[in-house]
């Protein structure tokens, strides 16, 4: 066998490179009791409630105008948000706060930015009756659904009660929303032991996220959503937005600018960021958080690494057939979006 | 064997009734070269174009506000309409005309109520640039999509051209819309020979629809959509709506109030009716059409029979997984719905 020196050198170089890579691989940090935990697939929901809730989630007849549904601002094609700074409501009203994603919202310890709802069912009634959102009333929403024979039948079958109630409506909506978890992100795969699920840069970004202190608030299955924290710890947060945060609920001045820490799951899809939607991009959001919450100015490269990590938190998006809504009957009140 | 007279009488009565029913069945009208023909399932579309078009159909980034998508007014959960008299557009603008259903729109001989677009591709560009609808421009829509890496890739793969163009966008939208046919309605099953697919009342309604002359305009696969006709033949149609119909396109006074005959497929789902959305219910629409187009006042029972027939035209609704849209990049311009 005749082997040229050149080939031999190439082979040795290749061998040594693969050894170096193997060593680098071996040196890579492995998951070890991380503060972020994988999302579990949804289970335990009542299928009839989920199917009914899915229809209601897409039904604009729960709004005064007949035009705005839950999905208008928590758009399941777009990470469960509207990707607007603050939402468009009835008569093109400008909403007071950024619409949080509905994805994984079942993992939040309370609902809304200020935590004024204890759970998803309590949350669901809010926007229907908010004059800047769907601008309806619970009674009128019940009347509309009651006038629709297929809904009457489906509510009866689902809840086995004689009348449709707002409690049934919000219960069904919550049951559907509980299914909107996004498991199996690349980061969760890495947590589960699939080492090559994230790149070296993404791992670097994660370790920086962890070691610089971001993970102190953004942890758990939702990577957030389990505490109130002050927006602007080291420096005050400057904004035109009038929300007082938790203080609006508690009445305590100490709670001013305390907001529920948002989930970072699917954060790649849920721009713009913060309660006022002021950060248009993930890079801006990371830079601001570093300075205001940690007193740390991340370098461009550090920001880029953290952003790369954050994009590994995008999980499997909800996958379901677009629901077909039961038609109104002749008795169903017709909406007039331009009524005074 | 002991048989009481009473039982015997009952048996004879039952026998005679079943004979009568059998005779009635035999006497039932059977399809015989009807002017309405069954809808064929969609075929021949390019699957890549359809998938891309589906995303675009649901993407509100084709509007100035980032809030209104094709599906906002042609809602596929609601018979391909918004069930409003006229549509809500940018900044809550009141649209000038009732949104026609997108379902089976590929069967229309021209598009829009006044036929100003020759086909679906030509139609698709209209609402994007209409200041009362999506209020965007074709150039800005192209810029938005071009700024999104996953769209760039998908357009490239689909059309094999270097740049995204408005022609590609409208072609993909049209390809998706061509799939939105609704075959296998009960009426089509009856046309296909399944005699019990429609009830006696529905058949009575159909024969009245046919013999009183409705079918003269509402025929073919779409039960309409293949001619312009004057709204108000026997009596003028009184409306506040300013649309001049076909005259707005042709400039000819003779075309005033000439509108494309709307499809009656899925008409149960596409309320309210007429170009001004003035008829809230099918009964009202049938009554008005009878008086104004045929000079015939249908009795309540006749209206009820025709309405029963019309409801047999509801076909299989589009069934597909809600599309997940590719996220904007840092370069994608952010929408400001409240900009002057």
Q: What is the pLDDT of residues B15-56, one digit of tens each?
A: 555 554 555 555 899 999 999 999 999 999 999 999 999 999
Residue A163 lies in a domain: yes
B156 and B217 part of one domain: no
> Is there a single domain that holds both residue B133 and residue B243?
no
Whether B289 maps to a domain, the answer reads yes
Contact B84 A77 (CB under 8 A): no
Q: Is B70 annotated as a binding residue?
A: yes
The pLDDT of residue A14 is: 52
Residues B224 and B254 in one domain: yes
Catalytic residues of B: 133
- CATH code assigned at B247: 1.10.760.10
Whole-number Cα distances in Å, A319 to A181, A291, B71: 11, 38, 18
- Alpha carbon distance A180, A320 (integer Å): 10
Each residue's pLDDT tens digit, A95-118: 999 999 999 999 999 999 999 999
Given pLDDT bands bounded at 50, 70 and 90, which one contains residue B147? very high
Q: Residue A285 pLDDT more than 50?
A: yes
> Is B166 found in the same domain as B205?
no
Report whether B74 belongs to an annotated binding site: yes
pLDDT of residue B27: 82
For the CA atoms of chain B, what is the radius of gyration? 24
B11 assigned binding-site residue: no
If asked whether residues B127 and B237 sit together in one domain, one would say no
What is the total residue count of chain B? 340
Residue B25 domain-assigned? no
Query: Is the peptide bond prior to B128 cis by the omega test (within 30 degrees of 0)?
Result: no
Binding site listing of A for heme c: 70, 73-74, 214, 217-218, 289
The 10s digit of each residue's pLDDT in A166-187 is 999 999 999 999 999 999 999 9
Residue B340 falls inside a structural domain: no
Q: Does the complex come out with an ipTM higher than 0.90? A: yes
Answer positive or negative: Cα dihedral of A14, A17, A21, A26.
Answer: positive
Last residue of a domain, one of A154, A178, A202: A178
Query: If interface means Cβ-Cβ distance under 8 Å, which residues of chain B face chain A?
Result: 58-60, 65-67, 72, 75-79, 82-85, 88, 91-92, 94, 268-269, 271-272, 280-283, 317-325, 327-328, 330, 334-338
| Mean pLDDT computed over B115-125 | 96
- Final residue of a structural domain among A161, A178, A195: A178
Structural domain range at position A171 = 47-178
Q: Would residue A251 count as lying in a domain?
A: yes
Element at B260 (helix H, strand E): strand B258-260
If asked whether residues A153 and A208 sit together in one domain, one would say no
Q: Give domain status of residue A18, yes or no.
A: no
DSSP string spanning A197-230?
GS-HHHHHHHHHHHHTTGGGTS-BTTTS-S-EEE
Q: How many CB atoms lie within 10 A of CB A256?
A: 16
Asked if the structure places residue A296 within a domain, the reply is yes
A242 is annotated as an active-site residue: no
A311: left (phi over 0), alpha (psi -120 to 50) or beta: alpha
Tell me, yes or no, whether B51 and B171 share the same domain. yes
Is there a single domain that holds both residue A140 and residue A255? no
Instruction: Write down the pLDDT at residue A340.
Output: 79
Mean residue pLDDT across chain B: 94
The answer on A211 and A174 residing in a single domain is no
Per the annotation, binding residues of A are 70, 73-74, 214, 217-218, 289
Cross-chain CB nearest to B321 (options A59, A321, A327): A321
Number of domains chain B is built from: 2
Contacts of B84 in chain A (CB under 8 A): 66-67, 335, 337
Instruction: Tell whether A289 and A204 lie within a shared domain.
Output: yes
Do B143 and B191 share a domain, yes or no? no
Task: Classify residue B9: in a domain, yes or no.
Answer: no
Tens of pLDDT, residue by residue over A120-141, are 999 999 999 999 999 999 999 9
How confident is the model over A4-56, as pLDDT tens digits? 555 544 544 555 555 545 555 558 999 999 999 999 999 999 999 999 999 99
């Amino acid at each position: 066998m005749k082997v040229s020196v050149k080939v031999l050198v190439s082979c040795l170089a290749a061998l040594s490179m693969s050894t170096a890579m193997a060593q680098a691989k071996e040196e890579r940090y492995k998951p070890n009791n991380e503060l972020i935990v994988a999302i579990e697939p949804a289970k335990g929901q009542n299928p009839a409630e989920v199917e009914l809730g899915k229809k209601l989630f897409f039904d604009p007849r729960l709004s005064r105008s007949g035009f705005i549904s839950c999905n208008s601002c928590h758009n399941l094609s777009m990470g469960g948000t509207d990707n607007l700074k603050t939402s468009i409501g009835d008569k093109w009203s400008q909403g007071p706060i950024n619409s949080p994603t509905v994805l994984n919202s079942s993992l939040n310890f309370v609902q809304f930015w200020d935590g004024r709802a204890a759970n998803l069912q309590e949350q669901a009634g809010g926007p229907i009756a908010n004059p800047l959102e769907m601008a309806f009333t619970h009674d009128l929403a019940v009347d509309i659904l009651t006038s629709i024979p297929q809904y009457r039948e489906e509510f009866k079958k689902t809840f086995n009660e004689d009348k449709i109630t707002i409690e049934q409506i919000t219960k069904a909506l919550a049951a559907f929303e509980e299914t909107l978890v996004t498991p199996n992100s690349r980061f969760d795969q890495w947590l589960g032991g699939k080492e090559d699920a994230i790149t070296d840069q993404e791992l670097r970004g994660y370790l920086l996220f962890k070691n610089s202190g971001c993970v102190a608030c953004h942890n758990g299955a939702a990577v957030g959503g389990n505490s109130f924290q002050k927006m602007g710890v080291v420096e005050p947060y400057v904004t035109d937005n009038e929300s007082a945060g938790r203080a609006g609920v508690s009445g305590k001045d100490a709670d001013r600018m305390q907001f529920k820490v948002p989930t970072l799951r699917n954060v790649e899809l849920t721009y713009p960021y913060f309660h006022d939607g002021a950060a248009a991009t993930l890079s801006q959001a990371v830079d601001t958080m570093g300075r205001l919450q940690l007193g740390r100015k991340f370098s461009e490269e550090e920001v880029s690494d953290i952003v790369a990590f954050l994009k590994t938190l995008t999980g499997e998006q909800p996958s379901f057939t677009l629901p077909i809504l039961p038609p109104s009957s002749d008795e169903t009140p017709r909406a007039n979006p331009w009524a005074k």
